[in-house]
Amino acid sequence: MASTRGTITSIEDLRQLAQRRVPRMFYDYVDCGAWTESTYRANSEDLARIRLRQRVGIDISQRNLSTRMVGEAVTMPVALAPTGLAGMQWADGEILAARAAERFGVPFALSTVSVCSIEDVAAHTSRPFWFQLYMMKDRAFMQRLIARARDANCSALVLTLDLQVQGQRHKDIKNGLSTPPKPTLRNLANLATKPRWCLNMLGTKRRTFRNIVGHVEGVEDVSSLAHWVAGQFDQTLSWEDVRWVRRLWDRKLILKGILDPEDARIAATTGADAIVVSNHGGRQLDGAASSISMLPAVAEAAGEQVEVLFDGGIRSGQDVLRALALGAKGVLIGRAFLYGLGAMGEAGVTACLDIIRKELDVTMALCGITDVAEARRALLEARAPAQPEPRLARHA
């Protein structure tokens, strides 16, 4: 098991270290899916089934991983996905992840339900970041959030469409997930085994949803916050609401949670700049198809009208190349960087990005391409299925 940065060579090493260092409820929040977790598993399993073509006799001495994502220059086609509660994996986690992404030259997306606020991240970074938005019933609050993102110089808004209701995640319910943790005997016993985490948390004032607390009337503590959030996700969300957000936001707009070709065709008519092929990391509809199995059809339906991004199961640079070969222009990583964050803070996020960059670079070389923009379906082994067939994820 990895114990120091010198022995860390894979995302799995970071995961193991995070599991040792992060309190159970917050580690489980990251490393779980909805219901039986079949779709969560299918995301990575279906990626692993895709075979790459090994090529030889090609000059691969000069390789380029840099490209553009949603109009921004990036050192590789990878962005840090918006993830809730990153600040509970490590104190001030969103700030640390944003700084690591900035130094690395890739986009960082901040979640609405982050621990650090939009203003916190903006104060500690100089590169514009993306802000993720949920459609909430309180439209006035949404307008204020959008205005705050604009004031913080966010370059893109990521509107998440697949969380009108929350999929049941058994581990979160059993752990009594809350931020900060409730002082139950079970929680206190677990926290006693995580002294590094506790010491770091004592050194910050950021321990709740700072994008919300203090910005909504009547929401001042954990109990009022939980009540407000539970009633806010808007089940009436329609494509007209997407167009409403488009009218309010004059910068790049990304729609996250597209898993069906018909939805991709509709999304392309809303004025969005990009879509993210995603099943919310297997955390919503258990039994849905894996993200990678739907990517080719969704990318074909989207055509050239919107840029196609991808998330779901990325654990290596090889996975990045597989997604690019099947039609994505870039990928978002969530759990992978959160494992790094929980393992070693900012240094762990940097380690995650280093690992993925090296794996992507070496895999490109062995596949005989020298520019990441050259990734095409021809990179995949023709004798095996080019991609898994869309299927229902197997139940345990």
Asked if residue 312 belongs to a known ligand binding site, the reply is yes
Asked if residue 15 belongs to a known ligand binding site, the reply is no
Distance CA 194, CA 188 (A): 10
Catalytic positions are 280
Q: Can you give the pLDDT at residue 384?
A: 44
Residue 359 binned pLDDT confidence (cut-offs 50, 70, 90): very high
Comparing 113 with 248, the larger pLDDT belongs to 248
Question: Ramachandran region of residue 108, left (φ > 0), alpha (ψ -120 to 50) or beta?
Answer: beta
Give me 313's structure tokens: 């199961």
Domains of the chain listed by start with CATH number: 5-379 (3.20.20.70)
pLDDT beyond 90 at 21? yes
Distance CA 150, CA 131 (A): 9
Asked if residue 223 belongs to a known ligand binding site, the reply is no
Asked if residue 82 belongs to a known ligand binding site, the reply is yes
- pLDDT per residue as tens digits for the range 298-322: 999 999 999 999 999 999 999 999 9
Asked if residue 148 belongs to a known ligand binding site, the reply is no
Task: Compute the average pLDDT of residues 383-396.
Answer: 51
- pLDDT per residue as tens digits for the range 26-63: 999 999 999 999 999 999 999 999 999 999 999 999 99
Asked if residue 179 belongs to a known ligand binding site, the reply is no
Q: Could you write out the DSSP letters of every residue in 173-223?
A: HHHT--SSPP--HHHHHHHTT-HHHHHHHHT-S--S-TTTTTTSTT--SHH
Strand 330-333 relative to strand 307-311, pairing = parallel
